[in-house]
Amino acid sequence: MLLHAMQSTACLCPLFSRSQSSPRLNLNRGATGGATSYKQGKRTKVIVANNGNQPPGARMVNSSPSTQAKPSLNGIGNLGANPANSSPLTPLGFLERAATIFGDSPSVIYRDTVFTWSQTYRRCLRLASALVSLGISRGDIVSVLLPNVPAMYEMHFGVPMSGAVLNTINTRLDARTVSVLLLHAGSKLVFVDQGSLPLIRDALRLLPPGHPAPHVIPVEDPHDESPAETLTYETLLETGDPEFAWVRPLSEWDPMVVNYTSGTTSAPKGVVHCHRGVFLIVLDWLVEWPVPPRPTYLWTLSLFHANGWGFPWGTALVGGTNVCITRVTAATVYADIARHGVTHLCCAPVVLNMLANAADGVRRPLPGTVRVLTAGAPPPAAVLQRTAAIGFEVSHGYGLTETAGLVVSCTWKREWDTLPESERARLKSRQGVRTPSMAEIDVVDAETGRAVPRDGATMGEVVLRGGSVMLGYLNDDAATRAAIRDDGWFYTGDVGVMHPDGYLEIRDRSKDVIISAGENISSVEVESVLYGHPAVNEAAVVARPDELRGETPCAFVSLKEGAAGSVTAADIIAWCRERMPRYMVPRTVVFRADLPKTSTGKIQKYVLRNLAVEMGPTRRGSTSSKV
């Protein structure tokens, strides 16, 4: 049965009782069990247990024998945290502020439906109130399986305002994966749109026998036929209190969201972020991009993708207008930009590439400057060059699910404006420098842990530390310890170089580096050259076994419309030989109509690696092509 409790909305009774055994996301505030320390230069970082509005289980303080704290003669040493200055940081308060300042301004637009900030605030309070009435309480996980619709935006405030932890699930996943995520998270409740109801039904059937299935509440689309079920999202809101006193976090370290990694290189892991980390990442990008008051923001980035990089909360802070779209095509993006006067959007490089290569009949003149923030994979310089020519002002950043959004920004320098266009695009394709709330970033040798030279050539693993790094992986202490290590760094698994000017450049995932006859080859560097070919639409480079060299680059390429048959593998190889060292040149070129992608638009290199292995090893002196 889809809904485990069907009630009249006139009397909404709790769906859950506290006696019911169910998982809940709690923090073990004494997890460190004392103090540990690690060396950083001449200082010693000491991790000590603590309580109150502090990091869960630990906080870091500086200490050395020569700088021990001494009693203050003027009394300053006796001052510190107090009830007036230690209110937990949370982005949820941005909504109340938006309703006060921008109350009559549009908050969310979906097709012909328009909400104001006052309406959105009251709807989110109703949602929080109704969830509490259903029996949802602090630490319970509420999952959401929705596209970019107004309800999905409201979930980012309403669910944590009830004290629950928000878990947004990718709508493009299969039933088996959704079932695994619901089981692992211990979700109490799932909100689902009409299009995903068959998916959630199949997922619930796959849960182990005896495991309590989460209750499912369908979300209506105002432009489609309403579901027949009694308890729906809108009927649930009708039961809520628009004056509800929302549940504030007891500590800014309380969990607020849990997001699952995309699983491009390993099994999905539940990444837990706290109110403080989300608060900081939101402020970072409003300053860094920057975002002015009252922007018009187009939701080309899925809200389930790392919570839309923090912009659901960010647009509230600046009183922006959120334009929701459920299908991202070049036609819909250009049409909505023209219709709504869009000023800002975020997207992966694959969407940039789609906009750059749109047919003339689809592309429309931009109504003004449209600022685009891209991340998710290193964007090829050629793609950045083409989108800039159209009129998009592209900014580039880097982040992970584990950092709640982008924590590195390719901050533009004014002196670069005079450089040739190709050089500007090359510089913009680098990931950049840390954002304000990220304390430090570095590139370190995987074996020694020492920083690599800042020469733009020596590769190492990218490490981070700062305010928006995750609390850890849900129910996975081993994975948490592997990622957040005793030396005080979060290890990303990404391979990069640090340039002399202090700008970071990602070269690969650690699994994607190709080792050919002892030489390390960055697949991203080879792909960047391939994207420069006028006939190439998409490119991905992986390792193929080689009898002599161990591995050699194998390029999978999709061509632009109308280019099929006019370009051969020999043409592609010749193009590369003119632009890179010979050892980096692909020895195999495979043409495909489309490259396999994850549900968030990233090319699935593990699929291509498997295909390359199935081809068998290349032989001495040979090159090959496949179609």
The single residue listed with the structure tokens 């890179």 is: 580
Phi and psi at residue 339, in whole multiples of 5°?
Answer: -70, -40
For the segment 279-292, the average pLDDT, to the nearest whole number, is 96
Is residue 45 pLDDT above 80, yes or no? no
pLDDT one-digit tens code per residue, 362-414:
999 999 999 999 987 767 788 888 898 899 999 999 999 999 999 999 999 99
Cα torsion 592, 593, 598, 600: sign: positive
Is residue 186 pLDDT above 70, yes or no? yes
Is residue 542 pLDDT above 50, yes or no? yes
Distance CA 106, CA 119 (A): 9
The answer to whether 458 and 473 are in contact (CB under 8 A) is no
Cα torsion 134, 139, 140, 146: sign: positive
Lowest mean pLDDT among 138-152, 200-214, 414-428, 510-524: 510-524
Surface-to-core class of residue 399, CB atoms within 10 Å of its CB (0-12 exposed, 13-18 middle, 19+ buried): buried
For the segment 350-368, the average pLDDT, to the nearest whole number, is 91
pLDDT one-digit tens code per residue, 99-127:
999 999 999 999 999 999 999 999 999 99
Residue type, 393: E
The answer to whether 121 and 148 are in contact (CB under 8 A) is no
For the segment 60-83, the average pLDDT, to the nearest whole number, is 58
Residue 192: which pLDDT band, with cuts at 50, 70 and 90?
Answer: very high
Residue 625: the pLDDT is 60
Is residue 419 pLDDT above 60, yes or no? yes
Surface-to-core class of residue 457, CB atoms within 10 Å of its CB (0-12 exposed, 13-18 middle, 19+ buried): exposed
Residue 61: the pLDDT is 28
Specify whether the backbone of 165 is left (phi greater than 0), alpha (psi in -120 to 50) or beta.
beta
Residue 78: which pLDDT band, with cuts at 50, 70 and 90?
Answer: confident
The single residue listed with the structure tokens 């592609």 is: 572
Farthest-apart Cα atoms in the chain, separation: 82
Taking each helix axis as running N to C, give the angle between helix 381-390 and helix 349-356, from 0 to 180 degrees, rounded to the nearest 10.
Answer: 50
Is residue 447 pLDDT above 90, yes or no? no
CA angle 337, 343, 345 (to 5 degrees): 80
pLDDT one-digit tens code per residue, 462-476:
999 999 999 999 999
Lowest mean pLDDT among 226-235, 254-263, 271-280, 522-531: 226-235
For the segment 322-333, the average pLDDT, to the nearest whole number, is 96
Domains assigned to the chain: 25-61 (no CATH), 515-626 (3.30.300.30)
